[in-house]
A and B are shown apart, each in its own frame.
Chain A
């Protein structure tokens, strides 16, 4: 499964996913994400770092949509801070040039962390 790392620097949550994020890991990663996010405070934006995701598919994309949807329900705004090439390739295929749209994440002004 993806390793889910969560950091809170006082202002912003940072959520980093590392490892594969495909149908094979979807169920476990969902649990890990829920666990990590449930412990966070229900305020402040969440920056999501996908630069460590080395394998990605539609199930992964869907999971991110679900994450985004849940965060918004709690009044938090997710932001994509970085994405790996595998994520971008899938996102591009699914939604042409709009990865932020696909994953339900509001993209930061510039995708500075894109690898």
Chain B
């Protein structure tokens, strides 16, 4: 397989998954009561299946072509108005979507035949069948009953064969479409009696652009229907002049229908077609009086609705094509609508989006990161020169670099909605499995965040959703008893807040049971007493390793791996998770995440000669350390406008030699819901910087999540504030602080400590 082919396969795998999802979304919408007669929706679903099949054929994933064909056939019948989509069939089709995804996975792992999954396939297809055979009778009845209007369909069923002529668009080959493969594909479905290429326009070797397409083709099949041909060549429709007629079309009809082909070929006689019998001289040659005479002669015998499809695109070679299209035999309305829809949607899509491999973006972002570092270095040097003109030039440069950086990062931002909508299916399946009735609400799907982030939160998110459905939401009976509507609501919401993204999972279920959590925690030895624990503290216990309150272990959750893993993976993304719950009213879980993993807006501080960076979004304010707060042997806290503020000393934490600066500062940071101070020697101000990951040997350094290279070439350590604060300011400190200050302002302090702990 050539490199290009591999790239094509990769692109298809991505596209295939997207299309499968589109199909799945359509099915789910139907199931949720969307109008089953919505032609647009059904067409979109059909096209999704059809495109999967077509593209799979092009890149040679045979298993998928074969399987999706069956799905497509069914959808095609739905499209032509058969009432096939009942609940059972939708479930069956959803399973087929799963199977398609599986075949895609297998193809990715190098099994284009899908042998590993072939066992399930038969059962799935059988599931599509019973209804199919039932309906076949019904449709036969319909077509005999309404013979006039259904003649197109009935004619198609007769499978009487067809003739086709096509002059391919100049870009067909370049766009990856190969007439030969389309023909080979078609020949697997219908019997092609004869085919011939005409090549009068192919320039000689020294003049040809080998990627242009100069060929035209004709074929005659004595089985199959026009739809088969249209389908095999669907992807060519855009720029290709194509005429397909049934075998029985009269001389005059053929002559008339071939007008656009004549124009496209520039009236060069296609001798190869004539020689091979694919075209009769009379059909091609323009005998002036022929059409009228023929029409008059055939009189009433001329079928008014011959299913012909003439697709003449606005190719430069056929300026008269609009006129000829309109005079052409009217095509079946559904067919032409499908054709135009199919060609319109990709065209619209390519105009607005460019598909770029993720690695290329990553590379670009790394490069831009280096650019930022290098330009910071230039900036430092420029400042040293005291050359104002140079400094001005550099500062203009820095601004541009800044713009490039944010623009580049923007490239990788994707809306979270796609991830959200995947949960439609999960919620549907799980609620059935659990016998619960759950509706999913999605809010803020257009909130954007880094693609890498989206990928990495999907697992934790899945866990939270399943948890909410399993533990949070009650059964319909239980809900009725407590006076709630039977239908439970699960809500996914995303929004931006002060430089980070917040993703919420909330439900209106039973809420967390404080007593049960406490019992369990006692049992597991996570706590020794239930006294004095606030609700948030109790709820925080469920993030402890090995904690699970579910009394029955279900398929979904309750295996004791869970919330602690969720918490860890969120923290690994420099995010935080918090939880809020009211008994009987529901639970809200909030994940707060940075917008991107690659770059950090930081605040640089110094201790002695060392530099540290605090993520800017957690910095609340900076204050000078009050002289009275500096008592080395006491628990470290200070009074921030009447609030108890514990703080950590970076000098102590990292055991940096040297004396405390004369006027040390405290950076007040927010970690989770409470504030903490970080004691430093000097403040250096804001800095935007690229995060370099730490190598393995520093992994044990919990308080540091990365490094950064400064303009001067020095290294700054990026602080992981959550870890730093947790490690240094433990609860004992806080309680001691609270106790010590109790006398000062008892009432307000009690309130703050409850709130902040």
Residue positions of A touching B, CB distance < 8 A = 20, 22-27, 29-30, 33-34, 37, 55, 57-59, 61-63, 65-67, 69-71, 73, 89-90, 93-96, 98, 101-102, 104
Contact = CB atoms under 8 A, between A and B. Distances in A.
B210 A73 contact: no
Of the listed residues A22, A71, A95, the one surrounded by the most CB atoms of chain B closer than 10 A to its CB is A95
B173 A23 contact: yes
Contact of A70 (B181, B204, B217): B204
Contact of B195 (A24, A66, A71, A93): A93
Contacts of B202: 62, 65-66, 69
Contacts of B211: 23, 26-27, 59
B198 to A, nearest CB: 10
B289 interface: no
A70 B210 contact: no
Contacts of A55: 2
Contact of B213 (A62, A93, A94): A62
Nearest to A27: B210
Contacts of A62: 173, 199, 202, 208, 210, 213-215
B276 interface: yes
A66 B200 CA distance: 10
B276 A96 contact: yes
Nearest to B278: A96
Given A58-B215, A65-B202, A70-B204, A23 B176 contact: yes
Contacts of B204: 66, 69-70, 73
A96 B213 contact: no
Contacts of B5: 24
B735 interface: no
A20 B208 contact: no
Q: Is chain B's binding surface mostly helix, strand, loop or mixed?
A: loop
Contact of B179 (A22, A58, A71, A89): A58
Interface of B: 2, 4-5, 173-174, 176, 178-181, 183-184, 187, 192, 194-197, 199, 202-206, 208-211, 213-215, 217, 272, 276
Nearest to B5: A24
A62 B217 CA distance: 12
Given A58-B180, A59-B173, A93-B183, A102 B205 contact: no
13 contacts: A20-B2, A23-B178, A24-B4, A26-B211, A30-B208, A59-B211, A59-B213, A61-B180, A62-B214, A65-B202, A73-B204, A96-B194, A98-B196
Contacts of B178: 22-23, 57-59
B184 A89 contact: yes
A94 B179 contact: yes
B217 A94 contact: yes
Given A23-B176, A59-B173, 14 more contacts: A22-B178, A24-B4, A26-B210, A27-B210, A57-B181, A62-B210, A62-B213, A65-B215, A66-B202, A66-B203, A70-B206, A93-B187, A96-B195, A98-B276
Contacts of A93: 180, 183-184, 187, 195
Contacts of B214: 62
A37 B204 CA distance: 13
A20 B215 CA distance: 20
Nearest to A23: B173
Given A24-B2, A94-B179, A34 B206 contact: yes
A66 B187 CA distance: 27
Given A34-B205, A69-B202, A93-B195, A59 B183 contact: no
Contacts of A22: 2, 178
Contacts of A96: 192, 194-196, 276
Contacts of B173: 23, 26, 57-59, 62
A54 B377 CA distance: 54
B180 A33 contact: no
Given A24-B2, A37-B205, A101 B272 contact: yes
B180 A57 contact: yes
B199 to A, nearest CB: 5
A87 to B, nearest CB: 11
A66 B196 contact: no
A23 B181 CA distance: 12
A26 B209 CA distance: 9
A96 B193 CA distance: 8
Contacts of B206: 34, 70
B59 to A, nearest CB: 13
B252 to A, nearest CB: 27
Of the listed residues B192, B194, B211, the one surrounded by the most CB atoms of chain A closer than 10 A to its CB is B211
A73 B2 CA distance: 34
Contacts of A63: 205, 208, 210
Contacts of B176: 23
Contact of A66 (B174, B210, B272): B210
A61 B210 CA distance: 10
Of the listed residues A37, A70, A89, the one surrounded by the most CB atoms of chain B closer than 10 A to its CB is A70
B173 to A, nearest CB: 5
Nearest to B168: A58
Contacts of B184: 89-90, 93
> When A and B form their complex, which 9 residue pairs have the shortest distance between CB atoms, in order from nearest?
A70-B204, A26-B210, A70-B205, A30-B210, A24-B4, A93-B183, A69-B204, A66-B208, A90-B180
Contacts of A23: 173-174, 176, 178, 211
A61 B173 CA distance: 12
A95 B210 contact: no
Contacts of A30: 205, 208, 210
A93 B217 CA distance: 11
Contacts of A95: 195-197, 272, 276
Given A23-B173, A24-B2, A66-B205, A94 B210 contact: no
A21 B205 CA distance: 15
A55 B5 CA distance: 11
Given A23-B173, A96-B194, A67 B210 contact: no
A30 B211 CA distance: 10
Contacts of B210: 26-27, 29-30, 59, 62-63, 66
A71 B203 CA distance: 12
A26 B197 CA distance: 19
Contacts of A67: 205
Of the listed residues B179, B209, B210, the one surrounded by the most CB atoms of chain A closer than 10 A to its CB is B210
